[in-house]
Amino acid sequence: MEAKHYRVSKIILAVLIAILAVFIVVAIILVPKVVTVLDSVNTVLVEADEAVEDINEAMAELQPVISEIKTISTEIEPIISDVKTAVSDLTPIIDDVGDAVENLDPVIKGISEIDFQALDDSIKGLSAILNGIASLFK
């Protein structure tokens, strides 16, 4: 019985040694690969942090430009309204041009009704805004 017990103990010891050997081989193979993967992940995270910093810097640099664009868009709204008014004032005149071949008096009357001063002011305002926009990109 003792020989059988000794034999079972040897088998258990051999199995434990085999498991330990497999564990050591797996550790030797996997640990360097895990370290390599972790290094790669760390590198990617560092690059991602740098990219986020670059994006934040770019956003900070763009804030004044965005603010200026908002100011310009606020200033250009009345000019656009004036241009729309001028266009709507011109629409009946353009319609009358077809009739002007037969009768020039309605055309001359329509042209005399145009508010050229308002149109001139609108164009000057638009020119000032476009010059302001152009100076942003110099």
- Domain positions in the chain are 2-136
Give buried/exposed letters for 73-93 (b at 16+ CB in 10 A, else e): eeebeebeebbeebeeeeeeb
Tens of pLDDT, residues 56-80: 998 888 888 888 888 888 888 888 8
Full-model pTM:
0.38
Q: Report CA-CA distances (Å) from 89 to 30, 94, 95, 112, 118.
A: 81, 9, 11, 11, 11
Residue 43 has a pLDDT of 92
Residue 106 has a pLDDT of 64
Residue 100 has a pLDDT of 53
Tens of pLDDT, residues 83-138: 788 778 777 766 766 565 566 666 667 777 777 787 778 788 878 887 887 787 76
